[in-house]
């Protein structure tokens, strides 16, 4: 899911797959996070990012668009496991959150220069759409439409 070959927003020379760990510390190779092929709406955030905090409401409002379909939702924190666990608890996040095994490498390998970012990944793990920054109401509607259209055409 969130490995170097999957979440690229720009080409990169690093071809080693990255792993992420869930907040219980279980490591995953990125392509195997979900047991079945699925498109993924991915939220990339930082725990100290004020814009990410502002985006939480937008992300929470998008979740119902993906429920029950072929689009899964998940997030990746670009910070440490401890900081991420605290953030999850303080903000009562309602979606799966993963932590890169090496946050600096994850950001560098995937061209993540800033957060927040909202990405729609196809079933093949390729980035189909990126919505950078804080999501405005019109952008939230665009994401919901993209999920719906993507879900319909992949069934």
All residues at 6 or more sequence positions from 66 whose CB lies less than 8 Å from its CB, including other chains = 41, 72, 73, 147, 151
User: Over the stretch 98-116, which tens digit does the pLDDT of each residue have?
Assistant: 887 778 877 877 778 899 9
Pairing of strands 127-132, 71-77: unpaired
User: Over the stretch 37-46, which tens digit does the pLDDT of each residue have?
Assistant: 677 888 999 9
Q: Quote the pLDDT of residue 96.
A: 84
pLDDT of residue 126 exceeding 60:
yes
Please report the beta strands in 4-110, taking only residues with DSSP state E, as ranges in sequence order.
19-22, 27-29, 39-45, 71-77, 97-100
**DSSP code of residue 80:** -
The mean pLDDT of 75-95, rounded to a whole number, is 90
Spatial separation of the C-alpha atoms in residues 139 and 145, rounded to whole Å: 10
Instruction: Spell out the domain ranges in the chain.
Output: 36-154
Q: Quote the pLDDT of residue 53.
A: 95
Of 9-13, 59-63, 131-135, which gets the smallest average pLDDT? 9-13
Structural domain 36-154, CATH architecture: 3-Layer(aba) Sandwich (3.40)
Q: Quote the pLDDT of residue 40.
A: 81
Residue 87: phi and psi, rounded to 5, are: -65, -45
User: Over the stretch 15-30, which tens digit does the pLDDT of each residue have?
Assistant: 334 345 555 555 444 4
Q: How far apart are the first and last CA of the chain?
A: 20
The mean pLDDT of 129-141, rounded to a whole number, is 93
Q: pLDDT band at 36, cuts 50/70/90? A: low
pLDDT of residue 1 exceeding 50:
no
Q: pLDDT band at 6, cuts 50/70/90? A: very low
Choose among 60, 67, 71, 58: nearest CA to 121: 71
């Amino acid at each position: 899911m969130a490995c170097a070959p999957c979440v690229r927003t720009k080409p990169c020379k690093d071809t080693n797959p990255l792993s992420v760990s869930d907040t219980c510390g279980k490591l995953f190779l990125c392509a195997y996070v979900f047991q079945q092929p699925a498109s993924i709406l991915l939220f990339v955030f930082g725990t100290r990012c004020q814009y990410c905090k502002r985006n939480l409401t937008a992300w929470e409002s998008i979740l119902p668009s993906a429920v029950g379909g072929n689009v899964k939702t998940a997030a990746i924190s670009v910070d440490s496991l401890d900081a991420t666990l605290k953030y999850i608890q303080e903000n009562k996040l309602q979606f799966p959150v993963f932590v890169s095994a090496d946050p600096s490498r994850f950001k560098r390998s995937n061209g993540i220069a800033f957060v927040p970012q909202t990405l729609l990944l196809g079933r093949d793990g390729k980035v189909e759409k990126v919505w950078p920054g804080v999501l405005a109401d019109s952008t939230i509607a665009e994401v919901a439409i993209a999920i719906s259209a993507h879900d319909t055409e992949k069934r």
